[in-house]
């Protein structure tokens, strides 16, 4: 008999390592939980392996148990979760939810009636909890709009240009651009996307830190940058870079 594990994380940035186990195969989807189980790439691969690829293998190597960290990993709606459980049960596959300690099939392969009831209740609770969270989010947004504090980016303060250029990644990019390197070369050298490099370059031009020769002013402090920003805001003057006598790099 063979056990595998299905893992779903919300985005590609999330780390699935904490859900992994040694010695078993993993099917990992990086997608929203709102996507039905049957439409997820790795979930489809798992179903296909059970139904077709594993059919020609001896019983000892065929998949018999599918583990999940939590039953909520299967979906966010009661219907989707119960349909997925029904699919596995129909294929003779025991679904084991580790967090809830639920097994959908008994040792003899018969359906676990207690587990079926528990899954139905849990799936309903998961869906209800999600609706409550969304409702609280909607209420919070409505109140923020009334106060005039809501922004399209979810209410987070918008990063200004000085803060953007003061990031470590931006400083690294500026050091390469100051040497006259291209956007593509800088991107390859730093491992940062072309888009971010281009944004740093554009912002550097806007603040008068870079000129057409892609040279950077020396010893520009954050306070000086703020002065530049304030002067540009009030007067609208166009700043032209003053050439460094020794052509040094920026200091922060």
Which domains are delineated in the chain?
A: 2-128 (3.40.50.1390), 161-235 (no CATH)
pLDDT per residue rounded down to tens, the chain (252 residues): 689 999 998 865 567 788 888 889 999 998 888 888 989 999 999 999 998 877 777 877 889 999 999 888 888 788 888 889 889 988 999 999 998 888 999 888 888 888 878 877 877 877 777 777 778 888 877 777 777 766 655 555 667 887 888 888 888 888 888 778 888 888 888 889 989 999 998 888 887 776 554 444 445 555 655 565 555 444 443 333 333 434 444 444
SS (H, E, C) the chain: CEEEEEEEECCCCCCCHHHCCCCCEEEEEECCCCCCHHHCHHHHHHHHHHHCHHHHCCHHHCEEEEEECCHHHHCCCHHHHHHHHHHHHHCCCEEEECCCCEECECCCCCECHHHHHHHHHHHHHHHHHHHHHHHHHHHHHHHHHHHCCCCCCCCCCCCCHHHHHCCHHHHHHHHHHCCCCCHHHHHHHHCCCHHHHHHHHHHHHHCCCECCCCCECCCCCHHHHHHHHHHHHHHCCCCCCCCCCCCCCCCC
């Amino acid at each position: 008999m063979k056990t595998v594990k299905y893992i779903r994380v919300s985005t590609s940035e999330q780390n699935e390592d904490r859900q992994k186990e040694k010695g078993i195969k993993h099917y990992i989807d990086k997608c929203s939980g709102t996507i039905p189980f049957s439409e997820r790439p790795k979930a489809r691969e798992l179903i296909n392996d059970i139904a077709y690829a594993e059919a020609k293998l001896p019983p000892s190597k065929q998949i018999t148990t599918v583990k999940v960290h939590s039953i909520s990993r299967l979906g966010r709606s009661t219907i989707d979760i119960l349909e997925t459980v029904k699919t596995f049960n129909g294929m003779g596959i025991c679904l084991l939810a580790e967090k809830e300690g639920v097994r959908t099939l008994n040792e003899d392969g018969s359906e676990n009636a207690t587990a079926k009831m528990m899954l139905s209740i849990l799936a309903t609770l998961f869906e209800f909890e999600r609706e409550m969270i969304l409702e609280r989010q909607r209420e919070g947004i409505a109140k923020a709009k009334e106060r005039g504090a809501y922004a399209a980016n979810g209410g987070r303060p918008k990063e200004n240009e000085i803060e953007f250029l003061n990031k470590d990644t931006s400083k690294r990019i500026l050091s390469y651009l100051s040497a006259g390197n291209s956007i593509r070369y800088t991107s390859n050298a730093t491992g940062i996307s072309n888009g971010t490099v281009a944004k740093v370059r554009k912002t550097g031009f806007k603040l008068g830190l870079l000129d057409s020769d892609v040279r950077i002013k020396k010893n520009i402090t954050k306070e000086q940058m703020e002065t530049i920003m304030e002067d540009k805001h009030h007067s609208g003057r166009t700043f032209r870079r003053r050439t460094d006598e020794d052509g040094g790099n920026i200091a922060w």
